[in-house]
Amino acid sequence: MNKSTYLERLAEQGIDNAHPGGLQLTKSLLKKEKITQDMIILDIGCGTGQTSAYIAGNYPCKVVAIDINPTMLERAKATFDNFNLEIPLFKANAIRLPF
């Protein structure tokens, strides 16, 4: 039997916002920030792209998303396409950013 990692299982299942509090907590935290149009928000470990899409659709900043898992990158791209969002998406490890 092939052992999947936790992140691979999330990708296989297409699970959005596996972090404690989910998207609701993220929205609550974002409301407390002063996000302006000259900011770039980097979503590290973007998963299915739900948080990146929310930020891009609700704040005047630019969003850049990265994830290391190819399946999550495919799902994020589909999310961005579904909402007609142009969010740069990179396959990257958070400790070795491509920029």
pLDDT given for residue 11 in this prediction: 67
- What is the pTM (predicted TM-score) of this model? 0.83
pLDDT tens profile 10-40 = 767 766 666 677 788 999 999 999 999 999 9
DSSP character string of 42-81: EEET-TTSHHHHHHHHHSSSEEEEEES-HHHHHHHHHHHH
Distance CA 90, CA 29 (A): 25
Q: What mean pLDDT is predicted for residues 58-79?
A: 95
Is there a contact between 14 and 73 (Cβ–Cβ < 8 Å)? no
Distance CA 29, CA 17 (A): 14
